[in-house]
Chains A and B, each alone.
Chain A
Amino acid sequence: MAIKESSEAIFSESPGKIALRNLRRDKRAIFSLAILGFIVAISLLAPIYSHFIAHTNPFNSTLDATTTIGGKVVPVLQPSTTGLGLGVTPIGPTWNLRGYFLGADGQGRDVLARLLYGGRNTLLIGVSAGIICIVLALLIGVIAGYRKGWIDAVISRLLYGGRNTLLIGVSAGIICIVLALLIGVIAGYRKGWIDAVLSRLLDVIWAFPVYLLAISLSVVLLTSGLTIGFIHLGPGSFALPIFIIGIVYIPYVARPIRAQVLALREREFVRAAVGSGAKDSTIIFREILPNIVPSVLVFIPIIVALCMLTESALSFLSIGVQPPQASWGTIINDGLGLLYTRPMVGIAPGLLIVLTAASLNLYGDAVRDALDPKTRARGDA
């Protein structure tokens, strides 16, 4: 009797369903998803707001624009009254959705409209970079962990030098790729002192700070775009920051995945599949990948948050999204000069970044706990 009951319990629900149910019960998950949904929705509605409600174009500077406050028509850029009275001060928040809800920036553009458009760009870059990062990392991690042998040696060396891979792949050239491959192959085959020397070489790239690498690449690529063969990416293209940021973070994801694949490979069910003569591709897709899905799911929100923060930092340094396009980072940069007169220009986008990134991280926590209730139990111990 007892056995029958417990076996029913096992068959009644798949682990995925249990996780989903856990997630649905988790207040943090609901809360963070609601905030994310709201932010995505208002960002997608950006054109509707600027065309039909505020009637402004957030990409053109409108130095002579006017707006109505309390029935009176006032210029958006008012002559400065503080200090020497030189220059102009943009209008402050009107708290009226019909225009300049959060005020205007130094060029008379509606901050709220730019904020919504900027949100689209920040989200787009954050999510695409995150996805690129995770897909590539998954690919590398699975192949490295599954193949072991020299392929693993090459790939894990490349991962240790993950930022090296980035440099090689995105920018400089075939010289580096050939060298890195050569190094990996020789290190994997020869071991001994050659391996020791080459491993040191790979520490190199591990040692390269992410931000500096992203900054160096952005500086170079954003001034003239990237040309590899027939492919030309213009300096204003979003593809550049997306690829730079996405690739910089690959090692963060690929290394743990590789370690996991390595461990999975020794499990009985994989061995059984190998023993029964299954093809490599079958084993990878049917046995190994489903077992990595949970950790990938946990990584997605966290990596997207990280990519978004990096995007805004690069844009803040004016080496991410290029004007006249906006992102939350560029708007914070615009707000730097207006900090003391019109603080909302700088504060609003930052609040949105914190809100979005915190929601993503919170959601990541909730997903982790839903997939693996043990971590939470351990935390409560």
Chain B
Amino acid sequence: MIAFIGRRFSAMVFVLVSISILVFLIFFATPGVDPAARIAGRNADQQTLMQVRHSFELDKPLPIRYLSMMRHLFISRDLTSYVNRGAKVIPQLSQAIPATLSLVIGAAIIWLLFGITFGVLAASSKRKWLDPTISFLGIVGVSLPVFWLGEVVNLVTQSKLHNSVFRWVPPLGYVGLSVNPWQWFLHLIFPWLTLAVLYAGIYVRVLRSEILVVMSEDYIKTERAKGASEKRILYKHATRMSLITIVSLFGLDFGALVGGYALLTEVVFGIQGVGKLTFDSLQNFDLPVIMATVMYAAFFVVFMNAVVDVLYAVLDPRVRRV
């Protein structure tokens, strides 16, 4: 087991290094793209361009620039922004991480809770109307643009109704958990729900169909033949088996969230997290910041995938040898 974990995590480091090279190449080696021209602004003359190239070290060969950027990013941790010269990237990033983690973890708890409860309910219920309703909600969930949903939520909670029903909703933004836990909760409750709606819909559908597939397996028939109660079959066997699928799905979704929907949610709700930081630096083409945030998000994805693999190996010993 320990050997498996060791292998898995050394592989993780390898993956991360490769992602960093990939991102670096996208930003600095795409044909027809010249970061110096972008920094110097429109209509910059040749001399300014030369100066910019020199002061941003853009005149050195690619591999050297890559190594130097990685050194600044991970070892000396003093990578500086292209836009606000002198502003360090790492502190900006580490300030933004708690907000993003709060958002993502809170939303994940909500959608797992809803997804699993209603998924099991949908699979076991005999009521005719429940099943199409859940399928329909699932479809709407998949089709909702999260940034738009966030805008609508803001419209409802921050506009006219703000003086009556939603008086308790604070203005947009983020308050740290350590600063004021209650305000932290109030600021995040709507972003959480917005983000969770989408995934709850998907998870309900997946879990429901998984449970139904497991229910038609032979060993469930054996259980029935042995005289086990339907309740026991549903919870002890069908749901438990189906949760394995949910665990692996969750690992992938949770990791990918940071660079995807969480970014959009942060922008709409004005939460100063990693996504908002990425968005702001996109606006002014601040490559070192984008590089750092992309690396962070990729790290998150890879880490979550590795955790899922290890969890899998714990659940299912056959995987360990692969």
Binding site for B on A (CB under 8 A): 164, 167, 171-173, 175-176, 197, 200-201, 203-205, 207-212, 215-217, 219-221, 223-228, 232, 305, 309, 312-313, 316-319, 329, 332, 335-336, 339-340, 343, 346-347, 349-350, 353-354, 357-358, 360-362, 365, 378-379, 381
Contacts and interface: CB of A to CB of B under 8 A. Distances in A.
Given A172-B30, A357-B143, A219 B290 contact: yes
Of the candidates B151, B158, B263, B301, the one having the most CB atoms from chain A within 10 angstroms of its own CB is B151
Contact of B26 (A200, A217, A329): A217
Given A176-B25, A346-B151, A209 B259 contact: yes
Interface of B: 11, 14-15, 18-19, 22-23, 25-27, 29-34, 37-38, 131, 135, 139-140, 142-149, 151-152, 154-155, 158-159, 209, 212-213, 215-216, 255-256, 258-261, 263-264, 267-268, 278-279, 282-283, 285, 290, 294, 297-298, 301-302, 305
B155 A339 contact: yes
B139 A172 contact: no
A258 B67 CA distance: 38
B152 A220 contact: no
A226 B297 contact: no
B213 A227 contact: no
Residues of B contacting A: mostly: helix
A365 B139 contact: yes
B10 to A, nearest CB: 9
Given A171-B26, A226-B32, A361 B139 contact: yes
A119 to B, nearest CB: 14
A127 to B, nearest CB: 16
Pairs A-B, 10 closest by C-beta atoms? A227-B32, A350-B148, A357-B143, A209-B259, A212-B259, A211-B260, A358-B143, A204-B18, A172-B25, A171-B30
Contacts of A362: 139
B249 to A, nearest CB: 14
Contacts of B264: 313, 316-317
Contacts of B263: 211, 215
Given A216-B26, A223-B38, A209 B260 contact: yes
Contact of B22 (A167, A226, A347): A167
A81 B158 CA distance: 19
26 contacts: A171-B26, A172-B29, A175-B25, A201-B18, A204-B14, A208-B22, A209-B301, A210-B260, A216-B27, A219-B282, A224-B32, A226-B32, A312-B145, A313-B147, A316-B145, A317-B264, A329-B145, A332-B148, A340-B155, A340-B158, A350-B151, A354-B145, A357-B144, A362-B139, A379-B212, A381-B216
Contacts of B158: 340
B298 A207 contact: yes
A313 B32 contact: no
Nearest to A335: B151
Nearest to B30: A171
Given A203-B302, A347-B152, 16 more contacts: A172-B29, A173-B25, A200-B11, A200-B14, A203-B11, A205-B22, A208-B301, A210-B260, A224-B32, A226-B30, A226-B31, A346-B151, A350-B148, A354-B144, A379-B131, A379-B212
B145 A353 contact: yes
Nearest to B258: A209
A172 to B, nearest CB: 4
Given A209-B297, A226-B31, A350-B152, A317 B279 contact: yes
B26 A212 contact: no
Contact of A343 (B22, B155, B255): B155
Contact of A224 (B33, B131, B255, B297): B33
